[in-house]
Amino acid sequence: MHCDVYKFPKSEDWYVYIARPDYPNDTDEIRDWLGVLPSDVRAKLGLSQFVMHLDLSTKDKLARADIAEVKAKLAEQGYYIQAPPADILAAQAMAKAKALQDKQYD
């Protein structure tokens, strides 16, 4: 199973895996691979940057995601969204709240 991984500078530490079931025979035409994402999710994440192509059949594990879950989601819906760990999400939320508060009183 092949997939492409994208990151989102607007949404730090968020990654999206996009299934590429016909790889390498799907590279002749330019496609919007992220088109499989729901539009509200895509809007929230913002612009993407390609990170890497993976052949998951050669992997036993991934750094921050359960490989079995990734494979299941790719087969089921064509994408997998990897959110940051809960502690990083909490720290990001606190930093955004503080920045908004500081901006309000500037």
Q: What is the pLDDT of residue 19?
A: 94
Full pLDDT tens readout for the chain, 106 residues:
999 999 998 877 889 999 998 888 888 887 888 889 999 998 888 899 999 999 999 999 998 889 999 999 999 999 999 988 777 667 777 877 887 777 776 5
pLDDT number for residue 51: 95
Q: In this predicted structure, what is the pLDDT of residue 27?
A: 81
Residues 6+ apart with CB under 8 A from 52: 4, 5
Q: What is the pLDDT of residue 36?
A: 92
Domains assigned to the chain: 2-104 (3.10.510.20)
> What is the pLDDT, as a whole number, of residue 99?
79
pLDDT of residue 44: 87
